[in-house]
Amino acid sequence: MAGTGTLSPPLATALGTYFVWTCLFLLGHLRDFLRNMFFSRTKKKGYAPIRQDYEDFYTRRMYYRVHDCWNRPICSAPTNWIDVMERSEVNGQNPINVTGRTIRCLNLGSYNYLGFAAHDAYCTPRVNACMKAYGWGPCSSRGDAGTLPVHVQLEKEMAEYLGKEDCITCGMGFATNSTFIPVLAEKGTLFLSDALNHASIVSGVRGSGAKVKVFSHNEPEQLEAILRAVIAEGQPRTGRPWKKIIIIIEGIYSMEGEMAKLKEIVEIKKKYKAYLYLDEAHSIGALGATGRGVCEAFGVDSKDVDIMMGTFTKSFGSCGGYIAGDKKLIDYLRAHCAAHLYSTAMSGPAVEMVLSALRVVRGMDGTTSGKDKIERLRKNSNYFRGKLLEMGLNVLGDWDSPVMPIMMFKPTSLVACSREMLKRGVAVVVVGFPATPLLTARVRVCISACHTKEDLDFALDMFRDVGNLLGIAYRSKDNLKHLTAARNSGVELML
């Protein structure tokens, strides 16, 4: 993997991780055996079990031991500091309950990249006015009576911002991929999907019923080799040419913090006359001098990307997603996509929030606030990444990326880090098996433009304490090389 970190743990750490998982697995099955032997359970006569024990073995015997590290509720806006609702301690498989108290925490878990999720002097009054004009929700689909003037205006301005002819919005980011991708497929379609694409892309490709081939993460060379082979071989059994081949990648990979090698992939897709679908959920608004994502960051013309997807849940502080492309494509999606025809449309206030934030980013509010936010996000991200690397932590991703997964590898370190950081007033997201492979448990940090230097230094002090406690400084020597290379290439590491 490129970037500043690696997914490969040291040998001793890998062996220790396998040992921990093996012990948990054996102990869980022993407890299941003893329960079935000595504790009878009533069953409905004539009914098959609604679930089998093996179906939720992981949940019962492993997850419930540590489920306090996930699903932590908050009771404040997701700005730089949040109020986390305190919960009772883990007690077997019993639910953990809120105590009525809160813990004030520095927020390193939300996708609030540009800081629009809290009160904003420009956006908030316009959202309130929109709510008074249109109410909480349209109570109808876009295909029926759910299209408001703000929907039409947002699609128009988003298309202009991205350099595309037209744009269509969807009320949910996940559904933008999972429901629009199947509409792009027909018999004879082949998808070439990055191995680390988001679950929403995987869901959409599976739902399409089309053939799919997976290429190694961010490896243009292997992508080209697969393209050459599938074009030469044609469709299975018949050997007929593929009607269309669609390459699907992400701008920033949400669990790795790594940017797509867009220039190389665009060259390949042009060479072999394939289509390119780019998911910019984490890169739109966060990368590029004006926030236009990886295309701007790498100097790629957006016209070379056939289908541009993104969400409004990160940089724009709202909900939903979009697809941008040629007008014929968008008209086709409007006529055929179930999410557009049957799902309730985005609420007017949510659309107005995106529209107002977009105008701030574009400078249409008459200030440089949007440009300043983007620049501050870039500086915050590089400063924080540089300091983590100086500590010797294994940090995935690229410079300028606001997503920073810190590798824990061991499930014990993952859980301990989550609990210790919460004790110290820092809210982080932890991700482990089965959301990631067995050996690649990680803490994912998301940086925001609303973080101050004092906020970041506080978080770094806490990571230093917890890192020393858990012994997770895996890459001291390698990190020095990355830091030296970054300084030589002009990356600004200081605030």
pLDDT at 286: 97
Q: What is the pLDDT of residues 436-464, one digit of tens each?
A: 999 999 999 999 999 999 999 999 999 99
At 145-163, the pLDDT tens digits run 999 999 999 999 999 999 9
How many Cβ atoms sit within 10 Å of the Cβ of residue 449? 25
Residue 139 confidence (pLDDT) above 90 = yes
Contact between 95 and 71 (Cβ < 8 Å): no
Rounded-to-integer distance, Cα 206 and Cα 196, Å? 15
Q: What is the pLDDT of residue 135?
A: 94
Answer yes or no: is pLDDT of 171 > 80: yes
pLDDT at 476: 73
- What is the predicted pLDDT for the residue at 418? 97
> pLDDT class for 39, splitting at 50, 70, 90?
confident
- For the chain, the first-to-last Cα distance in angstroms comes to 28
Average pLDDT, the chain: 94
Share of the chain above pLDDT 70, in %: 98
The answer, yes or no, to whether residue 1 has pLDDT greater than 60, is no
pLDDT digits (tens, 9 = 90+) for 4-29: 889 889 999 999 999 999 999 999 99
In this prediction the pTM is 0.94
Kindly state the DSSP code that residue 61 receives in the 8-state scheme: I
How far, in Å, CA of 104 to CA of 367, rounded? Answer: 32
Kindly indicate the confidence band of residue 180, based on its pLDDT and cuts at 50, 70 and 90: very high
- Distance, CA of 170 to CA of 174 (rounded, Å): 9
Is the pLDDT at 268 greater than 70? The verdict is yes
In this structure, the strands spanning 403-409 and 441-446 are antiparallel
Cis ω for the linkage preceding 437 (within 30 of 0): no
Encode pLDDT of 95-118 as tens digits: 899 999 999 999 999 999 999 999
- pLDDT above 90 (res 56): no
Tokens 């082949």 appear where? 190
List pLDDT tens digits, range 229-264: 999 999 999 999 999 999 999 999 999 999 999 999
The pLDDT-based confidence of 124 (bands split at 50, 70, 90) is: very high
Tens digit of each residue's pLDDT (9 = 90 or more) over 380-395: 999 999 999 999 999 9
% of the chain beyond a pLDDT of 90: 84
State residue 339's pLDDT score: 93
Would the pLDDT of 43 be above 70?
A: no
Question: Number of C-alpha atoms within 13 angstroms, CB side, residue 23?
Answer: 8
Angle between helices 453-470 and 369-390 (to 10 degrees): 20
